[in-house]
Structure 1
Amino acid sequence: MEFGRKISNRRLNCLPSPPSSSSTFTNPHGMSAMHARRRWSPPMILCLILFLCSVSLSTSADEFQQLMKFKAAFENSNPTTFSSWVEGNSVCNFAGIKCDSNGLVSEINLPNQNLAGTVPFDAICSLQSLQKISLGSNSLSGSIGEDLKNCVRLQHLDLGLNSFTGKVADLSSLRELRYLNLNHSGISGAFPWKSVENLTNLAFISLGDNPFDPSPFPTEVLKLEKLYWLYLTNCSINGRIPKDIGNLTLLQNLELSDNKLSGEIPESIGRLKNLYQLELYNNKLSGKLPNGFGNLTSLVNFDASTNQLEGDLSELRFLTNLASLQLFENQFVGEVPKEFGELKNLSNLSLYTNKLTGTLPQKLGSWSGMLYIDVSDNFLTGPIPPEMCKNNKMMKLLMLNNRFTGELPASYEDCKSLNRLRVTNNSLSGIVPSGIWGLPNIAHIDLSSNRFEGSVTSDIGNAKSLAQLLLGNNKFSGELPDEITEASLLDSIQLTSNQFSGKIPENIGKLKKLSMLDLDSNQFSGSIPDSLGSCVSISQINLAQNSFSGKIPSSLGSLRSLNSLNLSDNKLSGEVPSSFSSLRLSLLDLSNNRLTGRIPESLSIEAFNSSFAGNPGVCSDDMKSVRHCSSSPSSGNSGHVRTLISCFIAGMVALLASLAYFLLFKSQKNDKSENPLKRSSWNMKPYHLLSFTEEEIIDAIKSENLIGKGGSGNVYKVSLSDGKQLAVKHIWTATAVSNPGDRNSCRSSAAMLKRGKSRSPEYDAEVATLSSLRHVNVVKLYCSITSEDSNLLVYEYLPNGSLWDRLHTCKKIEMGWEMRYEIAVGAAKGLEYLHHGCGKAVIHRDVKSSNILLDENWKPRIADFGLAKMVQAGGDWTHVIAGTLGYIAPEYAYTYKINEKSDVYSFGVVLMELVTGKRPVDAEFGENKDIVKWVCSKITDKESLIDLVDSSISAASREDAIKVLRIAIHCTSNNPVQRPSMRMVVQMLEEAEPCQLITITVTKECQNIAIQEGFKC
């Protein structure tokens, strides 16, 4: 009976609404509605009702079954979403389901539900009244199959932000479709335009961020007269923007960024009067902004950055509704229009890296206030506009590398929202407003390379977010306030080349995050605070060229992260602290002080030969560059005791040596397989503390341990008894080089080591260079072992071989972009250290992927310094051609002169290898072409950079790879002057860090802001 009651109720709901008494309609037989009704008998009406209700029940049951198939496909990935999808509950009450007035399913709305699996389109497209499918932002997979064509009533389809594969099914049957979103859905193959052109009701199309086959702009889309939204970013579209784009007069949003578009922006685009957003960034567009562009008076957001646009900005002066204008990395010239000062909504302005001149409008941002402005790397002059932080909204004020003059406006000391202030390398002057030092949200203050004066005020104690304080190369003076230690997030303090005086604040140890303290070339005095040893994160300390006095704090020896310590040219006295023995330093400079006493044994190595110059009172028994300790004056009984001890030790050494010789001679006499190596007189020079002897090394030089052959010698793998592994290189001697054919045989190691009686220039170069280097990205040289006829170098062993092997040989491995990026950054830091961290710059001269070795964690080391040279006082120097084909900088061929920029060129080639997967020289490039010319030819031919990326790099990482390829192109400029320094290369690479955590909705923001500003996405 309960079931019967339900049926009865349902039957009552099946009754059609009677027409009103005043209305009539004609039935198929020509009878009026009233006449027809009079001829229906009650039994006939009851039958009709029963029939209609049975059909409704059947349809409802069928829809329930189809939805159950949908549930079964996804329930395991998110059971909570489907908790209401149970028998006994009306389908219209299912979560995410809507029904029409007839109780039939009209919408499936389940976006962003973590659904994973394949969509059963056959099931949901059997829902006869289905008008909307919204399943975006899930993890849907499989293909968008042919069954979708059965959703003939569909008006809204959103499958974006998923992981589908393959081509899109034919959509031409979906003639009622108005909204189509397949953005970043994973689909590929040919563009689905042929099925779209028949969908004349389409008003919204979003097909961007999919790896479609390259194709021209689809002219079919120009027939869709109702279109108001067109998103085709990152779709591999090439060629020109069609002239008829202006026919889509209803367009409000047009996004064509990250494609391969070339040529000029068509003049017809000025007819799109409703356009509020136009995104064209990262193409190869050229020419000027077209005449009539100023007619786009509804435009709010315009981004055409990273193209080849030129001309002036005059067409933009009429766009009174602009809120965001981004034209960075183009070739615009002329002045910023004065009308920009009247743009009341302008809040984001990014014009960096153009050729703009003149002054900025002084009313710029004075209406509602800027959020950020970046006009860096232009030729702008005049004062900084004073009111851009009106309403306290500005976060970033970036004006690096221009010619601005005048003072920092006082108004900015009240800009509480500001977090980045960078005006490096201008001609600004005057006293910095005191409130700027203490802005609560400021993270970066970079005022370096200007003419500022005055002091850092006590307000800096309020800068609780400050991480970087960069004030170098100005005229600042006075003492550092004690309050600076209250800025607890400080990471870098760089005050070099100013006129600061007084003491370092005693409480500097409170700065636990401080990694760099650079006070070089000032007038600081007093003692170095002992609390500096509490800055546990510090890696670089440079206090050179000041007037510090007193003893060096022994607490500095506890700084485990310290990599570089420069205390030179001061008035420090006392002994070098014994605690320094535990430091792992790549740079140590204590020269030109008043130090005395014995240098700790661990620092008495050739790497630090010049580190103690100008300290007559220090001594060492192991270093040639300072006084021998035994030559120091001695008196009284202590001198006699030392003499007796020395004599006793010398006697014991002589006795043990005689005994060893006797035993060795006896052993050799009884050994029929006499080894000539053991008769040699060996000289081992350690450059680190060693846990092995020369005998262990020599005994392991056997043909079965040979692991490599190079242009200057063989390399052997040595396994010590304690499990440690080493690499030993035998440098070819003069005689060996004269017989190069012997290099290709694995003859007796003893025979090879007997060749020649003079050390090669490569050996001397490698020892002289590597023995003085200390860096995590430079291969470690433990010691050298020489005899009359043998030259051996003992290195750390790097088990993963060379980058060349991993990219180009049978040892090739699948390397994702993150690994390649980390290798690029590490190798760059190694070269940066060689060029900038070694006193005199070290030019490697043979930078290539085969000289970048990989440790067990795939971290890179720069290796093989056989051609390296220290830069002399004159800068460049001349030598015979050296290097490897494909990596040699072009200027070397006609000048024979090299400097650090030659290494930068070679490193740029390595970056191209990492991005493209290609060898530096390959027949694929064509006659007389190397990888650099090949890349440049592709750009010249208007090919997209993305086509150059190694196909094994995932599509999601290719934009990140393109950033590095741009750096590589910069490094390989024909003109050495235009190449960046390795310090700049490292900075650019760090700013190009992969943005793996950024969601698709803010990726462009990452590109436009993070890359240029060093944000870590």
Structure 2
Amino acid sequence: MSSEPISGHHLVLLSLLCLVCHSSSQSDQLQPLLKFKSALSNSNSQVFKTWNGETPICNFTGIVCGSDDSVKEINLSQQQLVGTLPFDSICSLQSLEKISLGTNLLYGNISNHLSNCTHLQYLDLGQNFFSGEVPDLSPLTQLKFLNLNLSGFSGKFPWKSLENLTGLAFLSLGDNPFDKSPFPLEVLKLQKLYSLYLSNCSIEGKIPEEIGNLTLLESFELSDNYLVGEIPVGITKLTKLQMLELYNNELSGILPGGFRNLVNLSWFDVSNNSLEGDLSELRSLTKMESLQLFENSFHGTIPEEFGEFKFLTQFSIYDNKFTGELPARIGSWANFQYIDVSENFLTGSIPPDMCKMGKMEKFLMLENNFTGGLPENYAGCSSLLRLRVSNNSLSGRVPDGIWSLPNLRMIDLALNQFEGQVPPNIGEAKSLAQLLLGNNQFSGELPEEITKVTSLVEIELLSNQFSGKIPSRIGELKKLSNLHLQDNIFSGAIPESLGSCTSLDEINLAGNSLSDQIPASLGSLPSLNSLNLSTNKLSGEIPASLSSLKLSLIDLSNNMLIGRVPQPLILMAYSDSFAGNPGLCADGRKDLRPCSPVSHKSGQLKVAVYCFIAGAVVLLLSLSGFLIVKLRQNDDKSPMNRGFSWDVKQFHVLKISEDEVIRSLKQENIIGKGGSGNVYKVVLRCGEQLAVKHMWKSEPDSGSWRSSRSSAAILPKGKSQWREYEAEVAALSSLRHMNVVKLYCSITSEDSNLLVYEYMPNGSLWDRLHTYQKIEMDWNVRYDIAVGAARGLEYLHHACDRPVIHRDVKSSNILLDEEMKPKISDFGLAKIVQTGKAMDSSHVIAGTYEDAMALVDCSITKDAQEEAVEVLSIAVHCTMKVPALRPSMRMVVKMLEEIEPKSLAEIVIDKKGENGNSYGKS
């Protein structure tokens, strides 16, 4: 080797050589990155603003280079990236160690090109919209961090390939619709894991005892799966565990002996299983912050040590079999947020200091055997959102300050022995939506100041001793939906202003001493569904204005009403709706006297009229042959040409002639075509507009009707259509709700069925969003449509004597009236559920898409987009893969109403949805 010193020109040449080599390296890396950019061309343009040939690669947004200028990391999570990933290009970056693309809008399959990323240590593709199966991961032997949570992958997961990934410390595969499989034993070999998230990914069977081998685990989540059997003893070896979540499974048995060894455990959730036994194994877990044991069969007393847990902020044990008293000091140390011990057998007094730190939001202790009163300390708990202690044995006066708490949305004191009055300071409760005081011993007048609480949606004061007049300015409560004042001692007139509460759905003032006339203003309540004014001292005539209401229940019995009952009300009423009013009359109703006696002369007149009608019928029949021939000549496309007789069954009052309807079923009147037949617009001579659906009972034979259709395939075979027709009639004939389309009558012949509906002039929601008939809809209109449709479904699921499952809810089956109010239609696939089958679900949903703003229609104004995201989140919950995790329609309505756009009040969710797994999960 030469020992000659390097000359100056040698150094120049060496420098040039380094520059050439560096330039070549940069060029090699630039092309894959530009291809990556090109594949995501629809994404946020700001992200790739620096990605060009002029900017050094290491200065690209989201790119991190090593000391040799080679690309080490791609960090572009939460950047609204849209498109498919070209992993063949990405993985050609030989030094790439980290890919972080979580929480974007990426989609499509991932090919096996991922296997070329052999130096990869960190891979995050979570919260995206990929499809297909996860590819073989075994070549990624350097991987330490893998996150595919909520990424959209499905099918069979390649568990076997995890055996090669022995360096994994973080593994998150949850919330994906993988095929069912037993607990993957390959995971048990990953002994460097400190975080393992396998919730909601279809794991079934038992948790293996060998789980105890993963001794470094700090966070272990297996919720929302199909796990059975007991919690294994092996889990007690995981002494570093800080979080253990096993909720929403089918686990049974007791907490294993040795569970007390998990001294670092701070978040523990085994709710909604079938576990039993006592809580003695938890008494020494002093680092506990959140303890969720609800919906199990635990029993015994609450350990006194829980009162000394200095970090406890969330405590939910509802729907178990606990007995005894709560520790007096529970919740008095940390920033305690909520307690829910509802539906147990707890006794004793309410712990006094749970709001000591001023952070408590939810106070839920309903359905127990608590005694004593509400501690005075809670009168100053300004953070409180919900107070529910109904169905206990509590007594005494409610501390005055509780009525005026500024953030309180619900006061539920029903079914106790509380006494005293509602004070005037309730007018300061500006957030109050629900006031539930039924079945107590409250007395005195309802203060006029309650009308200042304009957020009120529900007032239930039934079965107390309230007296005096109903507040005259009650009409100021524009958001009031339910008013239940029955079985009290209210007197005086029903306020005329009540007719201004335009959101009212139910009014029950029965069993009081109300007098004077029924206000005519009640007839202007557009949403009223139930009206009960029975057993009062009301007098005068029934206002004709009530005839315009669409009621499922009316009860005016046991009053002093006089005069004729309006005919539309008779058709809505039950047999005893007007009983106990001797002064009322109605023709043709057995339980009421006729309004005018039938004289001999009038009888003769009726006979003459009948004879005239009979003669006219004979004349018409004699001309029928001529008429049928003429009809066939003039309108060969009408189903009237079949020549059969028609049978009419009415479900709502409407003076129509089946002949007039049938003659209008012409090609030019078709307004819709679907799988179950054509829909026609019919305008009667009286001006009434109808929508008529025509369905064949059997496959029509060849002829003008069949040949006139643009596609014979639109109509399915006869048996299917007959089932759809029967289902639709069965489902709709008895339904009465403003958000369900009204079926006036059915008209049937030997081979055809006609269903006559109210006409909806704005067509379907699909039309208004997607077709040439689309219109601009602001957020308030869209929100009202969503809430209205949800209310219709809530009525079908929860308010019918026999619940109805629609089974085909979509935008084309949501019709819009002249005011853009929605009505659910097309019940051809509906099923009526047998009475007694459960229709409710109390589960709260775990997991949702955290960056949904990118999915919101850009035409929605910015100030409303957050509300739109909240509605989208509810929609995601409703489509969860596991049916048990979907909220009931009752809960959906309440969640939607809680969003509270400028026009609607906030309604709180029911007791079982308030706390379940809500901490950081949705």
TM-score interval for Structure 1 and Structure 2 normalised by the shorter chain: 0.7 to 0.9
Which runs of structure 2 are paired with 1:62-77 in the superposition (5 Å)? 62-77=28-43
* 1:909 CA displacement: 13
1:236 lines up with 2:202 in the alignment = yes
Match of 2:523, SS state, is: helix
Q: How far 1:409 sits from its partner (Å)?
A: 1.2
Residues 799 and 856, structure 1, Cα contact 8 Å, conserved in 2: no
The CA deviation at 1:624 is 3.8
1:564 aligns with 2:530: yes
Deviation at 1:314, TM superposition (A): 0.8
CA shift in 2, pair 1:824/1:263, >3 Å: farther
SS at match of 1:318: coil
CA distance change for structure 1 residues 986 and 58 in 2, over 3 Å: closer, same or farther? Answer: closer
Contact kept in structure 2, 1:336 and 1:361, CA below 8 Å = yes
SS for the counterpart of 2:596 is helix
**Structure 2 match to 1:318:** 284
| Correspondence for 1:461 | 427
Rounded to whole Å, the distance in 2 between the matches of 1:593 and 1:1008 is: 40
Matches of 1:267 and 1:153, distance apart in 2: 38
Deviations 1:580-611 (A, max 9, x none): 23222222211111222333343344735533
Native 8 Å contact 1:341 1:361 kept in 2: yes
Query: 1:52: which partner in 2?
Result: 18
Residue 220 of structure 1 aligns to a residue in which SS? helix
The answer as to whether partners of 1:329 and 1:351 remain within 8 angstroms in 2 is: yes
1:74-153 matches, within 5 Å, as: 74-153=40-119
Q: In the TM superposition, what whole-angstrom CA distance separates every residue of 1:751-782 from its partner, at most 9, and x where no partner exists?
A: xxxxxxxxxxxxxxxx9x99998545899685
Match of 2:554 in 1: 588
Q: Does 1:903 align with 2:835?
A: yes
Residues 1:543 and 2:509 are matched in the alignment: yes
Partner of 2:211: 245
Distance 1:147 1:190 in 2: 19
- 1:678 maps to none
Task: Give the direction of change, closer, same or farther, for the CA distance of 1:688–1:88 in structure 2 (3 Å limit).
Answer: closer
Q: How does 1:415-430 map to 2 (within 5 A)?
A: 415-430=381-396
Larger RCO: 1 or 2 (CA < 8 Å, sep 6+): 2
Q: Deviations over 1:599-634 (max 9, x none)?
A: 3343344735533222222333454432333359xx
Q: Take 1:609 and 1:364, find their aligned partners in 2: how far apart are those partners?
A: 55
Aligned with residue 406 of structure 1, among 352, 369, 372: 372
Whether 1:227 and 2:149 are equivalent positions in the alignment is no
Structure 1: distance between partners of 2:498 and 2:832: 44
- 1:820 positional shift: 15
Question: Given residue 857 of structure 1, which amino acid in structure 2 is its aligned partner?
Answer: I
Q: Using the TM superposition, name which of 239-248 and 562-571 deviates more.
A: 239-248
Does structure 1 retain, via aligned residues, the 8 Å contact 2:571–2:653? no
Q: Distance in 1 between matches of 2:405 and 2:877?
A: 41
Distance 1:368 1:770 in 2: 54
1:372 aligns with 2:341: no
Match of 1:962 in 2: 884
2:656 maps to what in 1? 692
Distance in structure 2 (CA, Å) of the matches to 1:955 and 1:482:
41
Distance 1:192 1:539 in 2: 54
Q: Is 1:529 matched with 2:495?
A: yes
Gaps of 5+ in 2: 629-645, 666-677, 701-728, 761-784, 816-822, 843-874, 901-908
Deviation by residue 1:72-131 (Cα, 9 ceiling, x = unmatched): 111332222111112221111111111112222221111111111121222222223222
Q: Distance in 2 between matches of 1:137 and 1:717?
A: 44
> 1:916 — aligned with what?
none
How big is the shift at 1:190? 3.2
Change over 3 Å in CA distance of 1:717–1:316 after alignment to 2: same
Q: Deviations over 1:799-824 (max 9, x none)?
A: 99xxxxxxxxxxxxxxxxxx999999
- Post-superposition CA distance 1:513-540 (Å, at most 9, x none): 0011111000111111111111111121
Preserved contact between residue 550 and residue 737 of structure 2 (Cα < 8 Å): no
Q: Distance in 2 between matches of 1:1014 and 1:535?
A: 34
**SS of corresponding position for 2:283:** helix
How far apart are the structure 1 equivalents of 2:804 and 2:135?
50
2:772 aligns to what? none
Tell me, in whole angstroms, the C-alpha distance in 1 between the residues paired with 2:563 and 2:603: 24
CA contact 2:739–2:789 (8 Å) conserved in 1: no
CA distance in 2 between counterparts of 1:49 and 1:855 reads: 70
2:884 aligned partner, one-letter code: I
Question: What is the one-letter code of the residue matched to 1:373?
Answer: I
Which of 497, 503, 509 is the aligned partner of 2:463?
A: 497
Structure 2 equivalent of residue 724 of structure 1: 690
TM-score when normalising by structure 2: 0.75
Counterpart residue number, 2:849: none
Partner of 2:632: none
Give the deviation of 1:207 after TM superposition. 1.5
Q: What does residue 413 of structure 2 align with? A: 447
Which residue in 1 is equivalent to 2:771? none
Deviation at 1:489, TM superposition (A): 0.7
- Whether the aligned pair in 2 keeps the contact of 1:602 and 1:688 (CA below 8 Å) is no
Q: Is the 8 A contact 1:543 1:568 kept in 2?
A: yes
Q: Corresponding residue for 2:184?
A: 218
Structure 1 residues 1011 and 690: alpha-carbon distance in aligned structure 2, compared to 1, 3 A threshold: farther
CA contact (8 A) 1:957 1:994 kept: no
Conserved? CA contact 2:746–2:755, under 8 Å: no
Query: Contact 2:555–2:573 at 8 Å: present in 1 too?
Result: no
Task: Output one character per residue of 1:524-573: Cα deviation in whole Å (capped at 9) or x when no partner.
Answer: 11111111111111121111110011122121121122121111111111
- Segments of 5+ residues of structure 1 without an aligned counterpart are 1-28, 30-35, 633-642, 676-681, 702-715, 730-742, 747-766, 801-818, 836-843, 865-885, 889-901, 912-952, 968-984, 998-1004
Distance of aligned partners of 1:539 and 1:991 in 2 relative to their CA distance in 1, 3 Å threshold: closer
Aligned to 1:946: none
Q: 1:229 to 1:822 in 2, by over 3 A?
A: farther
CA distance in 2, matches of 1:60, 1:398: 63
Q: Do the aligned residues in 2 keep the contact of 1:606 with 1:772 (CA within 8 Å)?
A: no
Q: Deviations over 1:219-262 (max 9, x none)?
A: 22233332211111122222222222222222111111112222
Aligned counterparts of 1:68 and 1:550: Cα–Cα separation in 2? 81
- The question of 1:385 aligning with 2:351 is answered yes
What are the equivalent positions in structure 2 for 1:720-759 lying under 5 Å apart?
722=684, 724=690
Q: Which amino acid aligns with 2:422?
A: V
Q: Do the aligned residues in 1 keep the contact of 2:42 with 2:83 (CA within 8 Å)?
A: no
Among the aligned pairs, what percent are the same residue? 51
Amino acid at match of 2:370: F
Gap change, CA 1:862 and 1:479, over 3 Å in 2: farther
Partner Cα separation in structure 2 for residue 195 and residue 1007 of structure 1: 44
Distance 1:498 1:166 in 2: 61
1:896 aligned residue = none
Give CA-to-partner distance per residue, 1:876-903, whole Å, 9 cap, x none. xxxxxxxxxx999xxxxxxxxxxxxx62
Q: Residue 388 of structure 1: CA displacement? A: 0.8
User: Over alpha carbons, which structure has the higher Rg?
Assistant: 1
Q: How does 1:141-220 map to 2 (within 5 A)?
A: 141-220=107-186
Letter of the 1:691 partner, please give it: K
- Counterparts of 1:651 and 1:164, CA distance in 2: 81
Higher helix share: 1
Quick check: 2:283–2:303 contact (8 Å CA) kept in 1? yes
The 1:87/1:830 distance shift into structure 2, 3 A limit, reads closer
Q: Does the CA contact (< 8 Å) of 2:690 and 2:758 recur in 1?
A: no
Map 1:878-917; keep pairs closer than 5 Å: 903-905=835-837
| SS of the residue 2:41 aligns to | helix
Question: Following the alignment from structure 1 to structure 2, what is the Cα–Cα distance between the partners of residues 385 and 309?
Answer: 26
Report the equivalent of 1:361. 327
**Cα deviation, residue 510, structure 1:** 0.5
Deviation at 1:684, TM superposition (A): 10
Given the superposition, is the C-alpha separation of residues 720 and 236 from structure 1 closer, same or farther in structure 2, using an over 3 Å criterion? closer
Amino acid at match of 2:308: E
Hey, what's the Cα distance between the residues in 1 that align with 2:485 and 2:86?
A: 67
Please give the secondary structure, in 2, of the residue aligned with 1:80.
coil
Structure 2 residue matching 1:380: 3-state secondary structure: strand
Please report the TM-score for the alignment, with normalisation by the length of structure 1. Answer: 0.69
